[in-house]
Structure 1
């Protein structure tokens, strides 16, 4: 055992040092189980943690959710979600951490990725003999704790890229040394499977790396052409190995993220390139750097000096250094020139987390530094002078521009100066004093650990985190109530559930139920578009079902609603409020506990039902939600006379305080008289019936422009919406005065689409009874297979569903393949003849079969090559 540790000490230190460093920090910050904090912050707390709960549920209980899930909004393909978020092998750790321990599982996974990044870089250094002994952990730790990895530790699914990049590069080095492409091909395939997005960036980097490696390993045209032939074949087969996931994912992207691809750009710098120097200062990070910031490229003083020394070293051929300079210039401009930045991000500006590809540049800096500090064992006086001048110039620039960087303090710059000149002194003294290489190796490792730890601690101290209790208590309550609802339904029943509180838009994935809310980067664009037309807050990649009306709840099959008890003092802290929903008065209360009440919606329509074939006709006037909802109901019923669900109503009185209306005719723009004082508009009316009363507001009326109160209570409204939304204002309040107050937060506000409506409950009641009469009675209900029987009573009818139309659905009617119709721009409707029918829908992702064939053929070719190599060696 002792012999093993001695032999592999550099690799073990490269693995365990980052884990111990970051684990100690997490313990100091009281991350669970060391306290009541957690790693959850920003998207990790609002998105990924729910996907990890979904991962556990899928692997352990519902494997069909790998392909499709009705927990993704009203239903959606899941391969794209898995390919982007959930294919990391490290995720298997989460199977050991259920419930409240899931946050601990995320911490373990994060720590292992830190450690594995150091280990794989150490393996690269050892196998290529670029560094030996203590030089290995010195550079491996710099890589594992680079600024990109620390700043993006919350984007856990990206961190695998840092783990696999050194191994893929090792595969290239093996090819240039005359070995087979199999190692490279296999690792490239794994990288693309684990995260195709970061894998795309790695592929771009590999093109530049191969260019440089061609000069580094130059030994004649014949050997170079042989190497490039292996690289091309290995790259194609590596992509082929991943085709089973890449092809259906690419198709899914054409329905979602690819719709936002930019084709026009400007040849301009995104910021002054010199500002990039600020990111080499220790702890150069804060929250503001997440949405918009400079590249996170901190790699430590030793690496930075080593990188410069690479180009000053005569022990390295001029050909190699010149090609490295070309590549380095390309990387430099990629970090600040708009078109190159777009190319790295697949022609889409990133929403938050800019310069996501900078991990490959950190790798490049560390790799060249490791090469330089092996080749250039002893610094000459002129090299020391050049490095010293560069340090002075760098520190001087940051010092004189310190006020321009809100993420830097003088103490950070002072630390950077100290680390920089200490590193230079150590490099200058190496081989000039009588200390052995072993002691200098220990000095460099210790120095690197101290500097990289300091950067990590200072950087992460700028971020706030979700408390463990906030996550655990909310999740426990939600899971408990959902289980209680499920216990009241048969196995084959299909229904959706929503609530008036929310922790994230992916709560349904956390607690495994069908809903209408969702947030992911691979969300199909047509579903948010459809929900936006219905009056829900929606955008590129998300839906928040917070503004349901009696009609949308019925149409989408919202059979159950969870409501936080207003009288419970702890409910608001455990269950963050999302929306006010007075029309719950029209639903039947079926249960309650200390924090919540559960309601059943008797208006809810079945998953599939007989409806008029008039629904097949396109709805032209779909830009105003009240009109759109009424038209959908009329088309479902096949009405010959139009029935409106929403009847416009005037407010009884309007009172202005420090506000005047713009004098232009028919304007809805209001201005403060005295801009320094509050301005309010107060509307009053008294409901003449117990029906719901809804208010429409335009997308500009967010919390930055106005605030609303109803009877002196703040109105709960989700704040991000791009379409006109419908606000639930009052219900079951006949003859009770309602006062709506709008407080202007800006000097001038346009009350866009501001209108009060009285809801026609009688019309909805009559319609839902008719539409509920002939349901699709499911005999099989899973995420990918739905089978049931339905009776169509009239000739001009269809089976209407609220299943999103997608190419992957395959329809059989009475055992025969049929084509379905897409209605409302998004949903499945099935033309059927009069009578009883057995209708089956099965989901299989488009291009998955082709992908499986290509992956199988690629694996077979690799296997045959491997066998031939073994036979040849024998």
Structure 2
């Protein structure tokens, strides 16, 4: 063991220093299991942890969810989700951390990725003989704890790319030493399979890296073309090896993110490039840098100094330095020039976390710094003066412009100045063959990179462990009670009046109507928006359901915070379950069970996953910005009504009282402004329900909390705050002859009350239509994610089996064991025309292009295997 440690201490330090530095910080911040906090913040808390819980459930209990799941909104392909979020081999460790321990598992995975990033870079340095001794962990720690890693540790799914990049570069370097393409091809394929998105950026970087590498290793043109040929072949076969993931994923992207591709390019700089200097200062990060900020480039003063010295070292051939300068110019131009920025992000501006590819730029800085330190025998005076001036000028610019960089303060600049001076002194002593120098450089790196991590992450707030663990435990408890009531083949959807994230259904394993992911098919949020739900690019929050939308989507069960709806204003202080919506029309549902925190309701109007409906539903429904009209249109089409029946009737409020508010004259009569801008302005609308039917009010997409606040009888209305379509607020139900006062508080000086209208819901019309649709359900005998089968009895001509399964190319249908063509209803759902009589209808899902991908991957691996065998026989014959 002692001999092993002595022999491999640079590699061991390269792993353990980043691991222990960050573990110490997490413990100091009392992250679970060291305390009451957690690593959950932003997307890690709002998306990824729910996907990780879903990952555990899938591998341990429901493997078909790798392909498809009804936990993804109202149903959707999951292969693209797995490819983007879940194929990291590190995730297997999460199988060991159930329940509240999942946050501890996430911490362990995060720490391992920090450690493995350092180890992989150290391996590159050792195998290419670029560094030795303490220089290896010094450079490896600079890489593992670079600013990009600290800023993006919450984007845990991206960190594998940082681990794999040095290994890919090592495979490229080995091509110049005579290695075959196979090793490079396989590691590239692994990266593409683990996370195709970040690997796309690695592939772009490789296209520039190979040009520099060819210049660096140039011997003659024959060798150059032979190596370049191996690189091209290896790259193409690497992509082919990953085809089993790439082909289905590309199709999935064409239905989701691919529809948001930017087609108009602005040939401009996104900001003054000199501002990037601020990101080379220690601690250059805060929350504001997440949605919009500059590239994260911090790599430490030793690396930055050595990188700058690289271009002046005469021991490095001019050909190599010029090529490196061109690559550097391209990379830094990419960080500020919009067309190149778009190219790196697949022609889509990132939503939050800009300049995601800057990890390859940071790798480039550390890699050239390593090559520079290898060649640097001593820091000559002219080079030292130039380096001092460059570093000093950069820090002086940042110091004099601190007011423009809210993520920095004077202490951070002073620290960077101190670290830079120490780095210059240490480089000046490099000519002295002292064993203390590499150790001192390592110590500087550890202190500086640790300081950057502390200063950066201290500016971020995190979800407490109890907020996650207690909420999840109570949610699972309520969901389990629902599952105990349901039959094995009973399909139902479940929604709630509370929400921690839009992916709660993946956390607690139930079918829902909400979802949030970067690979969400655009068609589903578009439909939900027409239905009157908060939706946008990549998300749905089912927060504004009506009796009809609940019934149509088969939302058979509802979970409500205890006492949420009983009497308007009689809500308790249930802080454990964050409120999402008020839902007075729950009074039309049946209370069937209760937990300490939630009450469970069963919806007697819920439709089956499939049911007999008029073929009129196949006709294109008129698009409308009014969900009231759209919902009425859908019900009339489903029932095949000969005379149009409206579910919603517009009403006038009985009175409207203005307090410090003045109404604009025509044609802006729906626009209101404050009289005194310094005082509160309110409009109070009053009416008294004449029936026990539900009453809803519509609000336009501009009426979020920045514009207005709503309250009913003095109690604040809960409304999900992000929506791009007109939504419907559930105002009252079963409150005949009870006065209702709706108060609108203006949060801006002037507000347009777009689409603000009160509606009465016709329960009689609704009940009649729903009873007709409930009469002929699709009775499932097989209920699995990718296999659904059941019986349905069609009693009328010109009917279809209407489903609320999103139509997708992967679905295949049989009727009475004969394949049939699937129709599409409402531009969203599967519908199957049927003749009169009893039928067995089956649906099976298989991701498009998965079979082709498997074939290409298998064939490529077979070619690789045959070629490897050929090389083995050739070497064996040569040795004999």
Smaller-chain TM-score bracket: over 0.9
Q: What pairs up with 1:749-828 in 2 under 5 angstroms?
A: 749-828=751-830
CA offset at residue 802 of structure 1?
A: 0.1
> Cα RMSD between the aligned structures?
1.0
Q: Check whether the contact 2:613–2:799 (CA below 8 A) recurs between aligned residues.
A: yes
SS in 2 for 1:830: strand
Structure-1 separation of matches of 2:161 and 2:596:
45
1:108-143 deviations in Å (ceiling 9; x for gaps): 000000000000000000000011111111100000
- Residue aligning to 2:171: 171
Q: Check whether the contact 1:532–1:723 (CA below 8 A) recurs between aligned residues.
A: yes
CA offset at residue 569 of structure 1?
A: 8.9
Structure-1 separation of matches of 2:833 and 2:625:
27
SS in 2 for 1:648: strand
SS in 2 for 1:39: coil
CA offset at residue 437 of structure 1?
A: 3.9
1:20-79 deviations in Å (ceiling 9; x for gaps): 000000000000011000000001001100000000000000000000000000000001
1:624 aligned to 2:626?
yes
CA offset at residue 622 of structure 1?
A: 2.9
CA offset at residue 623 of structure 1?
A: 2.3
One of 652, 676, 682 as aligned partner of 1:680: 682
1:604 aligned to 2:606?
yes
Q: What pairs up with 1:609-688 in 2 under 5 angstroms?
A: 609-665=611-667, 667-688=669-690
- Residue aligning to 1:868: 870
Structure-2 separation of matches of 1:267 and 1:85:
32
- Residue aligning to 1:492: 489
CA offset at residue 177 of structure 1?
A: 1.4
Distance 1:678 1:208, change over 3 A: same
CA offset at residue 666 of structure 1?
A: 6.3
Q: Check whether the contact 2:697–2:759 (CA below 8 A) recurs between aligned residues.
A: yes
Structure-1 separation of matches of 2:264 and 2:178:
43
Distance 1:695 1:569, change over 3 A: closer
Structure-2 separation of matches of 1:679 and 1:114:
52
Q: What pairs up with 1:286-325 in 2 under 5 angstroms?
A: 286-325=286-325
1:151-181 deviations in Å (ceiling 9; x for gaps): 0000000000000000000010000111111
Q: What pairs up with 1:315-464 in 2 under 5 angstroms?
A: 315-432=315-432, 436-464=433-461
Structure-2 separation of matches of 1:629 and 1:293:
42
- Residue aligning to 2:112: 112
Structure-2 separation of matches of 1:309 and 1:665:
68
One of 559, 573, 580 as aligned partner of 1:562: 559
SS in 1 for 2:575: helix
Q: What pairs up with 1:473-492 in 2 under 5 angstroms?
A: 473-492=470-489
SS in 1 for 2:485: coil
Tell which deviates more after alignment, 563-572 or 677-686.
563-572
Structure-1 separation of matches of 2:152 and 2:463:
17
- Residue aligning to 1:62: 62
SS in 1 for 2:624: coil
- Residue aligning to 2:121: 121
- Residue aligning to 1:690: 692
Q: Check whether the contact 1:80–1:253 (CA below 8 A) recurs between aligned residues.
A: yes
CA offset at residue 438 of structure 1?
A: 2.3
- Residue aligning to 1:528: 525
CA offset at residue 322 of structure 1?
A: 0.2
Q: What pairs up with 1:701-720 in 2 under 5 angstroms?
A: 701-720=703-722
CA offset at residue 599 of structure 1?
A: 0.3
CA offset at residue 779 of structure 1?
A: 0.7
CA offset at residue 399 of structure 1?
A: 1.1
Structure-2 separation of matches of 1:577 and 1:489:
26
Structure-2 separation of matches of 1:572 and 1:622:
38
CA offset at residue 195 of structure 1?
A: 0.5
1:751-805 deviations in Å (ceiling 9; x for gaps): 1001100101111111111111111111110000001111100111110000000
1:363-398 deviations in Å (ceiling 9; x for gaps): 000000000010112111111111111121111111
- Residue aligning to 2:585: 583
Distance 1:475 1:800, change over 3 A: same
SS in 2 for 1:282: coil
1:827-872 deviations in Å (ceiling 9; x for gaps): 0110011111110100000111110000001111111111111111
Q: Check whether the contact 1:67–1:79 (CA below 8 A) recurs between aligned residues.
A: yes
Q: Check whether the contact 1:571–1:595 (CA below 8 A) recurs between aligned residues.
A: no
| Structure 2, gaps ≥5 residues long | 565-569
- Residue aligning to 1:6: 6
- Residue aligning to 2:234: 234
CA offset at residue 571 of structure 1?
A: 5.8
Q: Check whether the contact 2:477–2:595 (CA below 8 A) recurs between aligned residues.
A: no
Structure-2 separation of matches of 1:676 and 1:622:
38
Name the TM-score, length of structure 2 as normaliser: 0.98
1:237-290 deviations in Å (ceiling 9; x for gaps): 110111001001000101000100001111111111111000011100000000
1:547-573 deviations in Å (ceiling 9; x for gaps): 000000000000000000138998632
Q: Check whether the contact 1:565–1:571 (CA below 8 A) recurs between aligned residues.
A: no
Q: Check whether the contact 2:481–2:593 (CA below 8 A) recurs between aligned residues.
A: no
CA offset at residue 621 of structure 1?
A: 3.9
Structure-1 separation of matches of 2:573 and 2:368:
56
Structure-2 separation of matches of 1:870 and 1:570:
74
SS in 2 for 1:125: helix
Structure-1 separation of matches of 2:99 and 2:634:
41
Query: Which runs of structure 1 show a deviation greater than 2 angstroms over 4 or more consecutive aligned residues?
Result: 566-572
Q: Check whether the contact 2:562–2:572 (CA below 8 A) recurs between aligned residues.
A: no
1:174-208 deviations in Å (ceiling 9; x for gaps): 00111111111010000000100000000000000
Q: Check whether the contact 1:613–1:636 (CA below 8 A) recurs between aligned residues.
A: yes
SS in 2 for 1:104: helix
Structure-2 separation of matches of 1:9 and 1:566:
62
CA offset at residue 667 of structure 1?
A: 2.5
1:183 aligned to 2:183?
yes
Structure-2 separation of matches of 1:557 and 1:334:
48
SS in 2 for 1:8: helix
The count of corresponding residues between Structure 1 and Structure 2 is: 871
SS in 2 for 1:655: strand
SS in 1 for 2:304: helix
Structure-2 separation of matches of 1:254 and 1:444:
49
Structure-2 separation of matches of 1:50 and 1:835:
43
1:512 aligned to 2:509?
yes
1:649-704 deviations in Å (ceiling 9; x for gaps): 11111111111111124621111111111111110000000000000000001000
SS in 2 for 1:573: coil
Structure-1 separation of matches of 2:74 and 2:571:
33
Structure-1 separation of matches of 2:161 and 2:237:
19
| Structure 1, gaps ≥5 residues long | none
Structure-1 separation of matches of 2:311 and 2:559:
65
1:310-354 deviations in Å (ceiling 9; x for gaps): 001000000000000000000111111111100000011111000
Structure-2 separation of matches of 1:395 and 1:684:
62
Q: Check whether the contact 2:607–2:773 (CA below 8 A) recurs between aligned residues.
A: yes
Structure-2 separation of matches of 1:486 and 1:587:
18
Structure-2 separation of matches of 1:418 and 1:256:
49
SS in 2 for 1:403: helix
Name the TM-score, length of structure 1 as normaliser: 0.99
